[in-house]
Chain A
C-alpha cells in the first residue's frame, strides 16, 4: 500500500506543470479555442516530444508502456491548465481501444502515428436516445461481400471533427440494447457517406455529431472480434472516466487556488473578504471535497487497467459519483466566492466551472454512477 508517484511520474508531473503554466496561459488558451480547429498544433507537437501521446502504448509500437496512473498524472495537469487538446479523445479513448482490442497490424498502423502526433482519432460510440447506456447502439454494420456497410447516427463524439480516423461502434447482431452483437470499426473521417458536424462545447472543447450513410469499411478495419466489442468499449470508457476524474481534480485544485487568491485580495468593508468566517468555512469545504476527490481519482486510476470487471466498474462508478459531486460543489462555490467576477468570461474560475460541470455530464453523471453502485450493492447482498 503506497500512494507515492514514481520518480519518473514525479518528473513528468513537474515538467508538464511547468509547460502548462508557461505555454498554455489563459490568453493563449482563449486564442486556441477561437481558432478554426479549436486545437493547437504546437502544443500537440510538444506533447509528442515529451512522450505523452504514446505514454500508455506498448514499447513495440513507439510507446512507453505506461499505465492509468501515468494518465492520471497527465490529466491532472490538463485539468489544472484547462488544456483543450484532444488527449482524452485520441490517446485515452481511441488509442486505448486500439491498444487493448486491435490486432498487431492495426496497432502497428495506428499507434506510432498517434504517438508522433501525426494522427488524431476519436471514439464515435454514444447515440441519440442512449443517454449513458453503453450497450444502446442502433448504428448497424452489414456484411456486404468482403466489406461492411455502416449506417447510423453518433452523438457527443469528442473531438470527432478534428480526427483523421474514427473508431465506430456498430451493431452486427442482437437487439438495440444487447451487450452482445456490438463490433468496432476503424473508419476514415473522409470516407464517402461520413458527415461530420463540428461544434464547440461550453468549456472550449470540440464535439461532433456524425452520421454514417452506407459507409464502406474494409473487413481489415474490424477491430477485435465481431459481435464481441462490448467489454472493450466498456474498458475504454472506464479508462476515460478515470482520466476525467484526474482532470477534474486538477481543475478543482486550480479553482481552489484561484478562489483563495481572490478572497485574499478582494476587499470589502475595509478588509479582504477572506477574513470573513462564512467564506473561510466554504473554502475549507472546497478543500475537503477536493482532497476526497483526489483519493477517488487515485482509486479510479489504480483500477482502470484491471480486467476484474466487477471490481473495476465499482471503483470507477464510485469515483465518478464522488468526483462529479465534488466538481459540482467546488465549481459552484468557486464562482460564488468570486462574486460578480465569477460570472464573467474574463475570469479563469468561470472557465474552470464550465469544465467541471461538463466533466460531470460526460460518460455518466453522478446520479447514473450512484445507481450503478447502488445496484451493485443489491446484487452483492442478494
Chain B
C-alpha cells in the first residue's frame, strides 16, 4: 500500500501541465475559470487541440485512437485539465456512447462513428429519459418499428443535455412490448438532421438553455444504426450508466473549484477581516475539504481495484455529486449579498457593463441553482441507493 504517486506518474503530471501551459488558449482558460457561460465552439476548439496532440480520448484504448492511459494517468490528466481551466470534454460521445460502440457495436459502426467523436467533429447527445420514464427508465415508450431497411421512430425524449448542438443522438427505443419492459428495448444511433426530429428548449431555473425536449415524428433511421442486437439495449444502457457514474465523481473539477473557493474565502471581506477568519464558515469549508479528500482517495482506491468499480460506482456518484453541490453552495454563500443579482449578460467574456458585487459572485447563485441537477441526473441519488441495496447488500 502506497498513496504516493510514482516518479513516472509525477513526470506524466509535469508533461500534462506543460502541455496545458503551452496549448490551452487564454480566452478559454479565462472563460472556464470565471465560470462563464460554456459554448459549443469553445468545447470543439479544445477537443481539436487535444486531438491534434493525440490526447483526444484519455479513457480510450489505443486501438481506437485513444491514449491507452491507465486509470491513474486518466485521473492525473483530468485533474490537471481542471486546475488549468480547460473546459470539460463532451462526455456524451467520449465516455458514454463510445464505450458502447467499442464493446457492442460492429466494425463498420466503430469505423464510422468513433473518429468523429475523437476529433470533436460530431456532437453527441443522449436520448434516454422520457416524460413518463425518468427513474423508471425501462418504462420508456418511444417506439422504433422496422420497416424494410429502416426503423421508423416515434415518441419524445426529454432532459436532453446540449441536444441543441447535437449532430447525433443515441437513443433507447422500444422495439418490442412483449415480456418485461427491459426486454423490448434497443439502442439506436440517430442523425439529428433526419426529417421529423424537432428540438425544443427547456429553460432551467438559472435562466439558461442547457436541456431540451426532442420529438420524433416518423423519423426514418437506417437499420444499420442499431447497436448490438435488437431488444438487448437495456444491457448496453446499464453498461453505459456504469461508465457515466464513475465519471460523475468529477474529482478534478471539484479540486479546482475547492482551490477557487479557498481563494475567494481569503479575498472576500467579512467586515474588517477576511471571510476565512469567520470560524463558522471556515469549519464548513474544512469539512468539505476533508470530504473531497476522502472522495478523491476513494475514487483512486476504486479505480485501481483489480475487481473494477462494481456497485461502488453508485456510491461515488452519490458522494461526488453531494460534494460538488456543497462546493457550489459555499461559493454562493461566500459571495453573500454580492450573489443575489442575476445578470445573464455578464456570463459572456466580452461583457463590460455594470455589476452588482464582485466579479466572482456573478455566476455563483446561478451555478448553485443549476447544479441541483447533479443529484438528479445520471440516475437520481435515490436510484443509486436502490442499486447499492440490490447489488451490494442483496436486499
Interface residues of A (CB under 8 A from B): 1-6, 9, 69, 260, 263-264, 274-275, 277, 280-281, 283-285, 287-288, 291-292, 295-296, 298-299, 301-302, 318, 321-322, 370-371, 373-374, 376-378, 381
Contact = CB atoms under 8 A, between A and B. Distances in A.
A283 B301 CA distance: 22
A288 B319 contact: yes
Contacts of B291: 292, 322
Query: In the complex, which range does the number of interface residues on chain B fall in?
Result: 35 or more
B279 A1 contact: no
B285 A374 contact: yes
Given A1-B6, A260-B393, A280-B386, A295 B301 contact: yes
A298 B297 contact: yes
Contacts of B262: 377, 381
Nearest to B305: A3
Contact of A321 (B1, B290, B297, B318): B290
Contact of B282 (A5, A277, A377): A377
B389 A1 contact: no
- Helix, strand, loop or mixed for chain A's interface? helix
A298 B319 contact: no
Interface string B1-16: 1111110010000000
B41 interface: no
B293 A318 contact: yes
A285 B389 CA distance: 10
A298 B300 CA distance: 12
Nearest to A299: B297
Contact of A263 (B3, B392, B395): B395
8 nearest A-B residue pairs (beta carbon): A280-B389, A374-B286, A284-B385, A284-B388, A281-B385, A295-B298, A373-B286, A288-B315
B304 A2 contact: yes
Interface in B351-395: 382, 384-386, 388-389, 392-395
Most chain B CB neighbours (cut-off 10 Å) among A277, A288, A301? A288
Nearest to B283: A374
Contact of B304 (A1, A296, A302): A1
Contact of B290 (A275, A318, A378, A381): A318
B118 to A, nearest CB: 28
A296 B290 CA distance: 9
A2 B1 contact: yes
Contacts of A4: 1
Contacts of B1: 2-6, 9, 69, 298, 301-302
B294 interface: yes
Contact of A3 (B277, B304, B389): B304
A371 B282 CA distance: 9
A281 B318 CA distance: 12
A280 B283 CA distance: 31
Give the interface centre of A291, A374, A376 by most chain B CB atoms within 10 Å: A374
Contacts of B203: none
Given A1-B2, A1-B4, A3-B305, A381 B276 contact: yes
Contacts of B384: 284
A370 B286 contact: yes
24 contacts: A2-B2, A3-B300, A9-B1, A264-B395, A274-B395, A280-B386, A280-B393, A281-B386, A284-B386, A284-B388, A287-B315, A287-B393, A288-B388, A292-B298, A295-B301, A299-B293, A302-B2, A322-B294, A370-B283, A370-B290, A374-B279, A377-B276, A377-B289, A378-B276
Contacts of B266: 381
A174 to B, nearest CB: 28
A372 to B, nearest CB: 9
Contact of A281 (B289, B304, B382): B382
B257 interface: no
A306 to B, nearest CB: 11
Residue of B4, B276, B297 contacting most chain A CB atoms (<10 Å): B297
A126 B296 CA distance: 35
A302 B394 CA distance: 32
